[in-house]
Structures are given as structure tokens and as C-alpha cells.
Structure 1
Amino acid sequence: MEQEEKDDIQLAIESLRHFNKQYRDAYHDYRNGRNAKIRKEGSRVMDNASGMIEIWLKSNDKVLGIASGGERPEGFDRRGYFISIFSRANLEQEVKDIIEKLEKLLSEESTGA
């Protein structure tokens, strides 16, 4: 793997972490906000963060392949993959799992494993 590709994956990891934290914090407001305005804002931020996560996952073929568990999915398979992870119930954990896979890939590349 070339350095540019490693840098792209590292940037994706950092961005996914950022937007996953944003999502998690907003989810708390959405679920536990003391009034409708706070809950609505939490929902809006969650939608924005999940959209940014999707953009970052699709930004790099290697990232998308790792996230989806294999070769880059096409057509219906890709749509089904994103539908499966972008529910409010499991998005945060799915993104954590993807980050771990990406970090493992970079680690294996740096050690030559």
C-alpha cells in the first residue's frame, strides 16, 4: 500500500471518529433532551453526522471495501449495506467496528504482516 493510500485511510479514520462522536453526543440529546427543541436539534445533528459518515465511507474504495466486508459492493448490495448500518440503533457500534478494521489494516501494513 502506498503512503498516499495510507494517509487517505488515516484521514478517513480520524473523520469517522469525529462524526461518530458527534452522532453519539447528538443521540444523547435526541433520546434524553428535556424538551422538544433539544430533541429535534439532536435528531438534526444525528442526520448530518450519519450523512458525513456515509460520505467518508464512500470516499475511498479501500475504506468502503473494508467497511462492507469485502470487495466494493455495487448496485443493490451497496444500497443494502448502507441501509443495514444506518439505523439509529446500531450506527455508533458499526462505525467503531469499521474504524477497528481500518486501524488493523494500517497496523498490518506498517509491520509487514
Structure 2
Amino acid sequence: MNTQMNFSQQNFKVHGVKFFDGLLNIVKLENERKELPSSALATYILLHFECNDIGMLPREFQIMDLAKKSGIPYTTIYTGFQVCLERRLVKETPVGNRTVYEVVDYALYNHTAA
């Protein structure tokens, strides 16, 4: 019986949200420091659907739109977003004369960013 298997490099395209191990570890550490409410965890995950390859949310991003898309009540998303800001999982970043939101360290862990 031959137990040797030959593997070749294959490329797969996976559809869905990018959520990196490094960011998961940050969330776990933050949760150990002080428990993150489920609204913050849900919002944080949803933000990954909206951000670009460097973690920036669109200039036109609104919490209300995230609530409508997800079907989660606005107050839950709003509260979760505020916790993400307070706990520095998300930050405000000046771009030109506007301020946009950024998922902290997203670009650091996204090795596919151009």
C-alpha cells in the first residue's frame, strides 16, 4: 500500500468575509481584558464585510445602512460600534478633509492587499 501522496499547489477563491487570525487574537485578548458585549462582536464582524483591503470603511458609511443590511436593530449596531471605537478595534482616520472609519490592523494582516 502506497502511503505517499503527492500534493501540488492549488489556488482557491473563497467567497465571504475576510477575518484574519491576528484580528481574532486581538478580539480574544480584548475580551479577556474586559468582556466585549455581543453587540460589539456582531458589529465588528459586519464591519469586515464593508471595509476595503486596507480596512477603511467607505466615506458614505452609515451605521443605519449596516443595521438595514444585517437586519439587526439600529440601537444594537450603534451600541456595538461605540464599544468598538472605545476599545480601539475601530478608529477614526482623517482622509483629505473628511474623517473615515478604519478597522484597526486590518491592513497589517491582509497580505493580499495591493
Tell me the TM-score normalized by structure 1.
0.28
When Rg is computed on C-alpha atoms for both structures, the one with the higher figure is 2
More helix by share: 1
Tell me the TM-score normalized by structure 2.
0.28
